[in-house]
Amino acid sequence: MSKTMKTFIEKLGWKVTNHFWDGNAQMFNVEEPKDLENDFENLRLAFKQVNELGTERVFPMLRRAGDELVLVLLPQPSLDYVQSKTNLYLLFATIFSTTWAGCFWWASYSDSPVLDSSLVWLRVLITPDVLLMGFLTYSLPLMAILGAHEMGHYYYAKKHNLDASLPFFLPMPPILFILGTMGAFISIREPIPNRKALLDVGASGPIAGLLVAIPVTLLGFWLTERNAVPVPLDSGSSMFLGSSIFWEFLYIQFSSFLTPSGDYLSHPVVLAGWAGFFVTALNLMPAGQLDGGHIARAVLGPKSNGISLTVIILLIFMAFYGIPGLAEPYLGWAVYAVLIFFLGTSHPPPSEELSNLGKSRVGIGIVTGLILVFTFIPSPLVFGESQFDLDIDSELAEFNPVFGESNITHLVIMNSGEADGWDNLTINVENIDNYTIELVVNFVNISDSSKSYNSSNYNFTKYVSWDNTGHNLTLNLTSNSYANLTLIITPEEVPLPGEIDFDIKITSRTERVYTRTFVLVTEEEI
């Protein structure tokens, strides 16, 4: 076997000076050829052609040991790759999962009635208009970005004569991950031959995906302005998508051509573009088997392994501390750091790592590093508390009504939100048969002036008013202002044994409803 291998190598122009077997692979000491890169590539392709004839599968690798150049022929078992439809099944599954996520984004954006239904996560899939728009406005542009990313890898893998699969997309139910997918990958079934191929394959995906994400995002900005869906005055505690330097730059450039006319909800196409930028930055991190790990290994060689560990440490720090003064912590970085660690922090070398990378490819490596810096989102998800809030305190919540007597308690209603301006609070007391329920405003305390006003003050009506029916009360309060009220409950006849609940409901200018429940308890006489 070794003589056959030696003869085969020498026919291709390599001069063998020694040979030995180390127990795992055939090792040949060879003289360094004039054009090492091309000669090694010809040797690699020659072995692939031999493999196609049915002989043992062999991968050549070139290493330098001191002054010696060693050609390693590493045997691999013959693998029969069956033409499987797994790629196709995963593609359809990911189109479904991203459409599912898109349905929820579109329903929220369009304020679809389906949001008020039970099991909303499933009902969006059987609402025809929501299903169609979820596909068109989110799944289709996102899959275009991911598809361009993976086909960039695939094209350059084939260009370097590598045995590569078509993309495997990774579906993810949106109830587990809001984007509806964990991305995609291609499988390269043999070692990367050299540094040039390693950089080309690693850099092509993020660059191709970015080139599609940019027009998708600009289209999303235009649709946002064209549809002009106003941002709700108050959506409660909300989740916001973080931003990157490049994202802000892109929006500024768009605004110079089409000045935004207001503050509008982002169109779902914008979310697809955001996801494309997010995936690009994730893949470009110079760690392990990520695209950025391939690029770092191609440019820096073995030094990239130390950078990989540094990335993991930085991600864990950002998970718990964020970027002090710039970005909030995001626990998802810890999960990503653990994933990188278990997938491997040390990038294996290409088969031949001795030839020069070339200035143009070093330049591409630098460009991808800059893309990482400018597209990286330190806090992808930011959770914000509502600026509107209300506190309702009462001395008592339970009463024992007696005919001919009144139950009395004091209420304090405070505007505890931080939003500027006045909040018109409409107070409605639920009616109960055979009971008279009355609310009396004792005074209001206005934080801006640190003054209290009661019914004897002419300014009182500025803050307290009743509607024409005399049943609905309106309080006009600024942040940290409050009203002191008396609730009077009087039965009009002998109460029947049992419990009766009734509510005081307070509706703010944001249409949020705050409720305070009281209980009337009448025990049966013995």
Model confidence pLDDT, tens digit, residues 449-490: 678 898 888 889 888 988 766 567 889 888 889 999 999 999
Q: Which whole number is the average pLDDT over 144-168?
A: 94
At 313 the pLDDT is: 94
**Cβ atoms of residues 432 and 502 within 8 Å:** yes
Describe the crossing of helices 304-321 and 291-300 by its angle, rounded to 10 degrees: 140
**Cβ atoms of residues 186 and 167 within 8 Å:** yes
pLDDT in tens, 3-60: 778 888 888 888 988 888 877 788 888 888 888 889 898 888 888 876 544 456 788 8
**Cβ atoms of residues 68 and 31 within 8 Å:** no
Give this prediction's pTM. Answer: 0.78
Q: Which whole number is the average pLDDT over 337-361?
A: 89
pLDDT in tens, 200-259: 999 999 999 999 999 999 999 999 999 988 876 665 556 678 899 999 999 999 988 888
Looking at the structure, give the CATH architecture of the domain made up of residues 2-76: Alpha-Beta Complex (3.90)
CATH code given to domain 390-522: 2.60.40.10
Domain with CATH 3.90.1070 in the chain: 2-76
Domain with CATH 2.60.40.10 in the chain: 390-522
Please give the helix or strand (H or E) that residue 44 lies within, else none.
helix 36-52
Q: Alpha carbon 316 to chain centroid distance?
A: 17
**Cβ atoms of residues 488 and 406 within 8 Å:** yes
DSSP bridge pairs for 488: 408, 438
Residue 315 CA to residue 335 CA, distance in Å, equals 9
* 332 pLDDT more than 50: yes
